Amino acid sequence: MQPSDLVVAVLALALVALLLKQTDAASAFPPEVKTYTEKEARKFLKNLNLEWAKKTNAYYLAKWDYETDISRRTLGQELKVSFEVAKFQKQQRKEAVKYPREKFADKDIKRQLGMYSKLGAPGLPDDKYVTFQNAASDLAVARRCNRDFACKPYEGKQPDDEYREKLHCWLRFRYGKNSTDTFHQLVELAQQAASLDNYTDFTRYMLRNYEQDDLLDKMKLLVDGVHPLYKQLTAYCRHRLRQHYGPNSAPNGGFIPDHLIDDPLCKTDPVPRKPLDFPGALRAKGFTVRKIFFLPDEFYRSLNMTGVPDAVWDKSILESDANKTMSCKPVAQDFLDNKDYRIRVCGTVCEKTLFAASSLVTGVVYGMEMRSQPSVYRQTMNDAFVEGIGGLVALSLVSPNFLRYQGLLAGDDSVEMDVNLLYMIARNTILPAVRRYAQDRWRLEAMSRAVAPRDYNCKYWDMRQEIEGVEQPLDRSWRDFDAANLDLLMDPVGTPFKTTFGTILAFQMHRQLCIMAGLFDAEDPTRLPLHRCNLLNQPVVSNLLKKMMQVGGSKPWQEVLEQTIGTKELDPSAATTYFQPLHKFLEDHNVRTGEIVAWGKSQKECGLPRYKLMEKDADGAARGVPVPTLCLQQCVEEVVHGKVDSGICST
């Protein structure tokens, strides 16, 4: 070894010793942990809200393109943008959780950080999120033969033939048998997403915006409050069905079969001598779908609130397009850029469109009123508030004096006219509220993994039988998964109870605002009946609605409700007061006809193996009914587009 090499070796050993000494010192004194202040959190949130709005805008645009023109191309683009936004959200969640929000004094900062730390499905690892999105898309685009429109070639047929063809249409176009595994896959992935958000199960995430631990108990109490009226309505409908289809179609004290729940017989006026042909009246007065949407817009303009700009109508889709496959789920979309708001619905000229229009226009007005909020708060206090305020608007638009003003109602006020009008309103409010409650209850139990995949179908029918008084018209296999035929699985992880909560809220707000406007006296409810109250042109309504909407999601709904109508609690008694004349009429009618206002236990099977179903003569006979031409045509079109298994189109 040369002297120079020795010097180099000594120096190297000395350097190693020095590094080891520094390492020991570093281990003895770990680096100082960064402490984030409220000031830094505020700056972080300001930047995040701006960037979040841009990313969300891009996703909403891609989602709109897909849902208004469903194709492989638009689906691919929507999934691509969704994936990019999810990556951004996950990165920002990592940043948000660094801030010790529990130590901050500013409640607003704590609330925003808390909201940004919960992502749901976008928080999944990339590959699992893609799988989740594909599963959700498969559930959303699956379709069935539309019982209301495509399956109506029944005019002039005998009741027995009509009944059997409706049954066959219901049976042949079930697509659920292909969806059990897809839904189960989605449930398992959702549970993994829940654990990443520190929830015990995904239903806690689905219910988070209600900010109420005892929500399920409260919802049951709300439904119990209106269930007596619902049961009277169901008993009356059952009686009408038997008169037409025969004694076994909907037995007294039994269930309404699912294929008849929307039968026109259940929509006829209870008092024939005072007919209320609402669709006919709309057409006679030249109403189009777009003109129906102008009615709730007129309500808001009468209160000096922001009306719907013309640009919204230009970009909205109010009727289905025969040249495109599109989602008909009603949507009012705020694109978070303070200028782009759109509505999508497959509307027709009927009262159902008026109720939908009231909620959708409210969604647009709500978005414009809260646009000064940071993007994390650009949502309602809970998702049911748009439906609640929209329902409030609808109750004024179907008040007798407003309908007369529009030329849609003839004659003076009378008990008979009240009954027919209230019956129409109940069919569009109380019936959907109770039915959707049953379906949401099932969805929550399934999403919480409290129900095994093999029991999905039985649990679904158990819920509907118990709460709705509706049963499957034929024995079913566990593989049929009939829940997949409902619109609620177009958004399987969406917020539950929106319809039920929103309906009860609508009647409660209607009663309180009518009292404040001097249009209803709770001490003497018969002098100025609640259902005749019309809140157009009432300044007190304008002030309260603006105050409620402008808050956005910045405060819990209970706090805002108390500030506006004086209570934190929902109360179903407003709905029972509103429908009191109808309830009395139905009670008297059902007693007079001997109708049992209850239902027992269904004898239909829900979880049989498929080969057992094939052995049943009754089932085989029902399957032998010729397929209605329109339904078969629609089914073939769906097979061509790859939406359903071609096997279900066989006769």
Query: Which residues are annotated binding-site positions for Zn(2+)?
Result: 387
Closest CA to 484 of 476, 472, 492, 475: 492
Beta bridge partners of 352: none
CB burial of 249-278 (b: ≥16 within 10 Å; e: otherwise) equals bbeeebbbbbbbbebeebbebbbeebebeb
Q: From residue 227, how far is each of 37, 198, 232, 234, 432 by CA, in Å? A: 52, 36, 9, 10, 12
In whole angstroms, give the CA distance from residue 486 to residue 329: 11
**Sequence letter at residue 179:** S
- Binding residues, by number, are 210, 387
DSSP assigned state of 466: I
Q: Is 494 helix (H, G, I), strand (E, B) or coil?
A: coil
Contact 40, 95 (CB under 8 A): no
Closest CA to 437 of 367, 360, 383, 497: 497
**Sequence letter at residue 519:** L
Angle between helices 215-245 and 498-516 (to 10 degrees): 100
Q: Which residue has the tokens 């705020």?
A: 334
- Binding residues for chloride, by number, are 210
Contact 504, 226 (CB under 8 A): yes
Neighbours of 181 (CB within 10 A): 12
In whole angstroms, give the CA distance from residue 177 to residue 81: 30
Sign, Cα dihedral of 611, 616, 621, 627: negative
Burial of 103 (0-12, 13-18, 19+ CB in 10 A): exposed
